[in-house]
Amino acid sequence: MSDRTIFIADLNNKEHLELFEDYERKNNLHNILDYIRENDLNSVILKQILFLKDKEGIKDSCFISAEKDKKTCFIDFPNTDQVFRNRTLITYAENYSFNTLGMEEIFIQTKIDNKNLINNLESKEYENLGDTNGLITFMKEKEKDLEQGRIMNGTR
């Protein structure tokens, strides 16, 4: 049984703030919480940070920018010093985006030299849309994901 938990950043939670500061320090990141401080509740764009935490603290994070009216979201994984053989947060972020936020498409961009994230995305059946100016864009559609799930479950 894993002691890992997933949570959305809450700026009003003192424990979260302490975890964020520790995570920033350990991974040489800066001002990640400014991302959600920019949230405008009346906007059609929802900005959130999803964290993966274990008993030692935050292990991984990603930024989610969801366009409510288009049902499209963009997920960004910050570059950290960690190498993830299987980046489980991709799956959690995908499930959260499709099932909780109601998104229909997910886009993820990464630098062309970020082989670790590229391999993780390809293994999770994200479609490579090509590169522009050194960035590769990946996409996954909910409908296609559901269709593949039905095929894997033998219901089709």
- Residue 99: which CATH number? 3.40.630.30
pLDDT at position 27, please?
Answer: 80
Average pLDDT (91-116) is 93
Q: Which of 119, 113, 67, 75 lies closest to 95 in space, CA to CA?
A: 75
Residue 108: strand pairing partners: 75, 138
Q: How many domains does the chain have?
A: 1
pLDDT digits 0-9 by tens, 12-60: 788 888 888 888 888 887 777 776 676 655 577 888 889 888 888 888 8
Supply the pTM of this predicted model. 0.78
pLDDT at position 156, please?
Answer: 33
Query: What is the domain range of residue 130?
Result: 5-153
- Taking 3-state DSSP, the helix, strand and coil percentages for the chain, each rounded to the nearest 5, stand at 35, 30, 35
